[in-house]
């Protein structure tokens, strides 16, 4: 059995462990793991769907751009949650560890471990891509803050009262007039 065949055989097990570990990063991880309705559980279902697709794409030696959508499903969520940048993208890199754990469980898997180097390199590549996406998300977030500030809603909190400003203007004008008279 080749490594690829074995990975395909073990797909369900690998993905289950991988998703389980990724969702362990949330305090209420059980809910995120168990609820299957994608609208009742957007975090859990998006991460499960995204990671599943990423694993399948790695096995099918997909083009880099094909990873964008499933990666986005995972990273866009984690980029606004209370994670450090490394924690946000860590689930991708964890795949290497998960695969080794699963393969090590049986003799034929252990024998194929040395052949995992190209697979690991592929995971690293996807991991780096995840970091780019993470930065794009953060950038988008800061842009959103700037846009809100520029849109005028800042007047709610950070501007002076319009009529007070008029009064101040009048006082300035009066004091200028007073100065010029003296």
Partner 1 sequence: MAVITKDELSKNVAEEPSMMTGSTPPKEWMDTPVQFKPGNYAYPTKVEKLEYLDSQQGVSFPNARVWNPEDEDWKLPANWKEIIINGLADRLDRFRSLKIFMDCCVRCGACADKCHFFLGTGDPKNMPVLRAELLRSVYRGEFTLAGKILGKMAGGRKMTAGVLKEWFMYAYQCTECRRCSVFCPYGIDTAEITMMLRELLHLVGCGINWAMEPVSNSNRTGNHMGLTPQAFKGNVDFLCEDVESLTGVKVNPTFNRKGAEVLFITPSADVFAEPGLFTCMGYLLLFEAIGLDYTWSTYASEGGNFGLFTSNEMMKKLNGKMYAEAERLGVKWILGGECGHMWRVINQYMDTMNGPADFLEVPKSPVTGTVFDNAASTKMVHISEFTADLIKNGKIKLDKSRNAHVKATFHDSCNTSRAMGMLEEPRYILDNVLEEWHEMPENTIREKTFCCGSGTALNTDEIMELRMRSGLPRANAVKHVYDQHAINTLACVCAIDRATLTTLMNYWVPEVEVAGVSELVGNALVIEGENRQELTEGLRTLV
HSE toward the beta carbon, residue 70, CA cutoff 13 A: 20
Six-digit token string for 29: 């991880």
The site for partner 1, by CB under 8 A, has a size of 56
Q: Does 83 bind partner 1 (CB under 8 A)?
A: yes
Site string for partner 1, 153-182 (x = CB under 8 A): x-xxx-x-xxx-------------------
CA angle 45–50–52, rounded 5-degree value: 95
Q: Alpha carbon 129 to chain centroid distance? A: 11
Give 135's contacts (C-beta < 8 A, 6+ positions apart). none
C-beta pairs of 27-33 under 8 Å, 24+ apart in sequence: none
Cα-based torsion angle of the residue sequence 109, 19, 126, 27 in order, rounded to the nearest 10 degrees:
-140
Identify which of 13, 12, 42 has the alpha carbon closest to the alpha carbon of residue 26.
42
Given the complex with partner 1, which of 157 and 182 has the nearer CB atom?
Answer: 157
Interface residue with partner 1, options 1, 149, 173, 174 (CB under 8 A)? 149
Tell me the window of 1-9, 50-58, 113-121, 150-158 that interacts with partner 1 (CB under 8 A): 150-158
Interface residue with partner 1, options 11, 42, 49, 68 (CB under 8 A)? 42
- Give the C-alpha separation, 11 to 95, whole Å: 12
Q: Does 150 bind partner 1 (CB under 8 A)?
A: no
Q: Does 43 bind partner 1 (CB under 8 A)?
A: yes
Q: Does 31 bind partner 1 (CB under 8 A)?
A: yes
Binding positions for partner 1, rule: CB under 8 A: 21-22, 24-29, 31-32, 35, 37-43, 46, 76-77, 79-88, 90-91, 93-94, 97, 137-138, 140-141, 143-145, 147-149, 151-153, 155-157, 159, 161-163
């Amino acid at each position: 059995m080749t490594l690829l065949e074995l990975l395909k055989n073990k797909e369900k097990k690998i993905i289950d462990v991988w998703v389980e570990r990724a969702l362990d990063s949330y305090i209420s991880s059980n809910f995120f793991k168990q609820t299957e309705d994608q609208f009742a559980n957007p975090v859990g279902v998006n991460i499960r769907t995204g990671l599943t697709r990423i694993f399948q794409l790695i096995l099918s030696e997909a083009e880099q751009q094909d990873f964008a959508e499933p990666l986005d499903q995972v990273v866009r969520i984690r980029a606004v949650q209370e994670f450090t940048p490394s924690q946000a993208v860590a689930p991708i890199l964890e795949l290497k560890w998960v695969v080794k754990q699963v393969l090590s469980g049986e003799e034929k898997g252990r024998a194929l471990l040395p052949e995992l180097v190209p697979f690991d390199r592929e995971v690293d590549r996807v991991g780096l891509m995840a970091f780019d996406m993470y930065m794009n998300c953060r950038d988008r977030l800061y842009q959103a803050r700037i846009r809100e500030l520029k849109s005028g809603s800042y007047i709610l909190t950070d501007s002076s009262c319009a009529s007070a400003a008029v009064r101040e203007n009048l006082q300035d004008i009066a004091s200028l007039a007073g100065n010029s008279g003296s």
